[in-house]
Chains A and B, each alone.
Chain A
Amino acid sequence: KNQVEQSPQSLIILEGKNCTLQCNYTVSPFSNLRWYKQDTGRGPVSLTIMTFSENTKSNGRYTATLDADTKQSSLHITASQLSDSASYICVVSGVDYKLSFGAGTTVTVRA
């Protein structure tokens, strides 16, 4: 069973609107959680990395939150732009440093 579950699988939003992506994980013990953005046909690019002691981290219009108690993370995209259309992947690292990947959420931003 995948230790990292993302939802929704895909979503469509209008340009300028906000959206929130969810990531639930069961990896334990936990070291850090990362969010990556992957454009079609390209490699993933890191957005944020958070340890268990961090609750929130921002990177421009992207804000990630982490609740290590409930093992949940979210990625909030503010004022979406067409260039935000991509797959967003949640990656959790255990203390053995092995990475567990979510299946990703595909975001489509429409004008």
Chain B
Amino acid sequence: KAGVTQTPRYLIKTRGQQVTLSCSPISGHRSVSWYQQTPGQGLQFLFEYFSETQRNKGNFPGRFSGRQFSNSRSEMNVSTLELGDSALYLCASSLREGRKNTEAFFGQGTRLTVV
């Protein structure tokens, strides 16, 4: 079955702009989590959605937001982009929310560069 699909793969934006990233989870998976990965900070949790509701949120400013649709697809939006937002944004899907041993499957990521 198809894996987690993230679009676009690469994106270049200028400071002050806003951007929307998309994630389609594995068919049947209802939980989608978003992560930011930078060389200096490693992987950092942004937020998790399950059944169209945000269930967990990391320590990121309000410029970072997301949503999940009824088909479990999720979008992440970053407004007023800053140079420091340049990173690899990863999406992971899981079968269920927060279950102990539910494996998370990651997409290829979207490489965002802010200039």
Encode contact with A along B87-114: 1 for CB under 8 Å, 0 otherwise. 0001010000111110111111101000
The reply to whether A49 and B103 form a contact with Cβ atoms under 8 Å apart is yes
Place the interface of chain B in its size category. 20 to 34
Q: When chains A and B are docked, how far (Å) is the Cα of A97 from the Cα of B99?
A: 7
Q: Which one, A46, A98, A104, contacts B42 given CB within 8 A?
A: A104
The reply to whether A46 and B99 form a contact with Cβ atoms under 8 Å apart is no
A43, CB-defined interface residue at 8 Å = yes
Q: When chains A and B are docked, how far (Å) is the Cα of A41 from the Cα of B6?
A: 13
* Contact A93 to B100, CB < 8 A, known contacts A98-B56, A103-B42: yes
B115, CB-defined interface residue at 8 Å = no
The reply to whether B104 and A46 form a contact with Cβ atoms under 8 Å apart is yes
The reply to whether A51 and B100 form a contact with Cβ atoms under 8 Å apart is yes
Q: How many A-B residue pairs have CB under 8 A?
A: 50
Shortest beta-carbon distance from A24 to chain B in Å:
15
Chain A binding surface, main DSSP class: strand
Encode contact with B along A71-111: 1 for CB under 8 Å, 0 otherwise. 00000000000000000010101001111011110000000
* Nearest opposing residue in chain A for B58, CB measure: A98
Interface size on A, residues (CB 8 A): 23
Contacts of A51 in B (CB 8 A): 100-101
In chain A between 24 and 54, which residues have their CB closer than 8 angstroms to a CB of chain B? 31-32, 34, 36, 41-46, 49, 51
> What are 27 A-B pairs at a CB distance below 8 A?
A32-B100, A36-B106, A41-B109, A43-B4, A43-B106, A43-B108, A43-B109, A44-B43, A44-B90, A44-B106, A45-B106, A46-B103, A46-B105, A49-B103, A51-B101, A89-B42, A89-B43, A91-B43, A97-B56, A97-B97, A97-B99, A97-B100, A99-B104, A101-B42, A102-B42, A103-B42, A104-B42
Instruction: Give A residues with C-beta under 8 Å from B.
Output: 31-32, 34, 36, 41-46, 49, 51, 89, 91, 93, 96-99, 101-104
Please name the 7 residue pairs, one residue from A and one from B, whose CB atoms are nearest each other, closest first: A43-B106, A97-B98, A101-B43, A103-B42, A44-B106, A43-B108, A31-B100
